[in-house]
Amino acid sequence: MATRIFITGGTFDKEYNEITGKLFFKDTHMHEILELGRARIDVNIRTLMMIDSLDMTNDDRQLILDNCKQAEEDQIVITHGTDTMTDTAKVLASGNLEKTIVLTGAMIPFKFGSSDGLFNLGAALGFVQSLPQGVYIAMHGRCFDHDKVQKNKKTGVFEEI
């Protein structure tokens, strides 16, 4: 069966406006990333929203949970902003879904060329295929249980708690 990929925005898909100097959303880069990574797995991609995770509401998190519930696939990867990724993971875990769900993101936008997003997505796709049912966060080659991780905002690294 295919792996479902849900896009929610976050730094992963941000672009840079050279005139204003601001980051913005245009469209997901998921297809380009999968092609660049030479991915050979069957995926179904759906964009749920394109927002910064600091702007994510409880209604947005409920929409993500509802889509996970409705997905035919048992393996789901969600691209998400890193600042509130653990909040969304808790909501997903409360749904008690019989699925493997891995959230991932990037500290640097993919379009910057030096992004960690490609690596994080590849790791998340590997983890989602090999882990038992549950909700996880995959960042920088590591995978954490959803309730045993935090983002260290001083170092920009996800750490086990």
CATH of the domain at 117: 3.40.50.1170
Q: What is the pLDDT of residues 75-127, one digit of tens each?
A: 999 999 999 999 999 999 999 999 999 999 988 767 677 778 789 999 999 99
- Report which DSSP code applies to 116: S
CA distance 89 to 101: 9
Instruction: Give CA separation, 26 vs 34, 35, 49, 125, in Å.
Output: 18, 19, 11, 24
- The pTM is what? 0.91
Domains in the chain: how many in total?
1
| Host domain of residue 153 | 3-160
